[in-house]
Amino acid sequence: QSALTQPASVSGSPGQSITISCTGTSSDVGGYNYVSWYQQHPGKAPKLMIYDVSNRPSGVSNRFSGSKSGNTASLTISGLQAEDEADYYCSSYTSSSTQVFGGGTKLTVL
Amino acid sequence: EVQLVESGGGLVKPGGSLRLSCAASGFTFSNAWMSWVRQAPGKGLEWVGRIKSKTDGGTTDYAAPVKGRFTISRDDSKNTLYLQMNSLKTEDTAVYYCTTEVTGGSGYYFDYWGQGTLVTVSS
Q: Across chain B, what does the average pLDDT equal?
A: 96
CA distance A65 to chain B (A): 16
CB contact under 8 A, B63 and A97: no
Q: Across chain A, what does the average pLDDT equal?
A: 96
CB contact under 8 A, A101 and B111: no
Query: What pLDDT, on the 0 to 100 scale, is given for residue B59?
Result: 95
Q: Does B114 touch chain A (CB under 8 A)?
A: yes
Residue A55 DSSP class: B
Query: What pLDDT, on the 0 to 100 scale, is given for residue A2?
Result: 81
Q: How many helices (H) and strands (E) does chain A have?
A: 0, 9
Low-confidence winner among A2-11, A57-66, B96-105 (lowest mean pLDDT): B96-105
Query: What pLDDT, on the 0 to 100 scale, is given for residue A83?
Result: 97
- pLDDT tens for A22-68 read 999 999 999 999 999 999 999 999 999 999 999 999 999 999 999 99
CB contact under 8 A, B45 and A36: no
Q: Does A52 touch chain B (CB under 8 A)?
A: yes
Query: What pLDDT, on the 0 to 100 scale, is given for residue B86?
Result: 98
Neighbouring CB atoms inside 10 A of B120's CB total: 15
**What's the burial of A42, exposed, middle or buried (CB within 10 Å: 0-12/13-18/19+)?**
exposed
Q: Does A93 touch chain B (CB under 8 A)?
A: yes
Name the phi and psi angles at B45, rounded to 5.
Answer: -80, 145
Query: What pLDDT, on the 0 to 100 scale, is given for residue B103?
Result: 83
